[in-house]
Amino acid sequence: MKQVYIIGMGPGSRKCLTQQASEAIEHADVIIGSKRLLEAYSNTDKKLFFAVTARDIYDIINKEKALIYAVLMSGDTGFYSGTKKLTEQLYKAQEESVIKKYDINILPGISSVIYLASKIGQPWEMAAMVSLHGKKQNYIPLVLTNEWTYFLTQGDVSHICKRLCESGLGGADIWIGENLSYDNEKILSGHVSEYSEYEAAGLTVMAVHNHYPQAAVMTGLPDESFIRADIPMTKREIRASVVSRLSPAKDAIVYDIGAGTGSVSVELAMHALYGTVYAVERMKEGCELIAQNARKFGLDNIDIINASAADVIEKLPAADSVFIGGSGGELEKIMDIVLKKNPGVHIVITAVTLETLNDSVRLMEDKKVDVIDIVQIAVTQIKKRGRYHMLAANNPVFIIEGRGNR
């Protein structure tokens, strides 16, 4: 049976290795890792293999005849690490084998985030964590609503700081750690606005201290908080009901069809921070407003599509949830496509006419969609006119909610 040690190497220097990790590497026959991590062992008599993907690492372990393997992972094995995919690969092979092939041992390390936190003398247990290594993540809402946020970056500090400044966070405190734990380690500090043009090293960690974090409001934002122009917008009370009904998961795929100004897209994207909201809108002016509102709220997970929904959603990933605020007369075609892609999709439709209400209910029933709820919301606002307070009624809106059968 082969022994596999998956080892968290800390921020980089061998001085940050745990004793347990050092001993595992010393006893290993084979060492596998990235070029940066292997450099420290270039003079050893052990076999060294450069590999970073789970598939490549597994292939080496599977093909080699050695008994003890040390797989080097940067930072900590449980923090934005390749450990998860590798262990899944190893356990899958284990299940498919008649005999036990691997003895898997995971040895944690010191994350560069924890290292930086200790260097600046700050706790990290309540902090938000952002990794921008090879992927996008919505960090503006996290920084706005948390006192402390730590970033693993690819050196794109200036871009991050510019985005933070655009969102009113230029006065927040910032620490930038470069080449942490190495001889050329450098830690800078100041305000976010001071580093909007800073060229950072590739191995960079950031800490941002927002002294005035906001409450996390994801549903029922005031209408005035959106950029509007003359494009129709789903009003606050209706929007709150729609979004609370859909309540997408953090990693959900959501369609907002007939997205208008993007007010619903924004609130859905705040819920699905690690997913994607596809805002489909036929009017070019509407798409421009959606882009402006997405940027205003610091949301990078809204994908804006300027087209008729029936022409484009076939090409999109299957949706977990769909909001239809305007179908352009193609409601049946839209429903056919979303149900084909995901028979269990969650659908919410708004209607201001009896005809749309009737079509929505009929189509759901015809297509075996469970109609969960049908409500009418009539909102009347009280507005001051001179010395008097007058009632101003908005048009009643029907909300039809359904879920497909898998």
Q: Give the tens place of pLDDT for each residue, 24-34.
A: 999 999 999 99
The contacts of residue 198 (CB under 8 Å, 6+ apart) are: 157, 158, 161, 176, 188
The alpha helices in 185-277, defined as continuous H runs, are 236-246, 263-271
| pLDDT tens by residue, 143-197 | 999 999 999 998 889 999 999 999 899 999 999 999 999 999 999 999 999 999 9
Q: Which pLDDT band, with edges at 50, 70 and 90, does 375 fall under?
A: very high
113: number of CA atoms within 13 Å, CB side?
21
**pLDDT beyond 80 at 39:** yes
**pLDDT beyond 90 at 137:** no
**pLDDT beyond 80 at 60:** yes
Q: What tokens does 6 get?
A: 């998956």
**pLDDT beyond 90 at 215:** no
pLDDT at 390: 94
**pLDDT beyond 80 at 406:** no
Domains of the chain plus CATH, in order, are 2-110 (3.40.1010.10), 113-209 (3.30.950.10), 223-403 (3.40.50.150)
**pLDDT beyond 80 at 135:** no
**pLDDT beyond 90 at 222:** yes
Residue-by-residue DSSP string for 102-154: EEEEEE----HHHHHHHHTT---TT-EEEE-SSS----HHHHHH-SEEEEEES
8 Å CB contact between 268 and 262: no
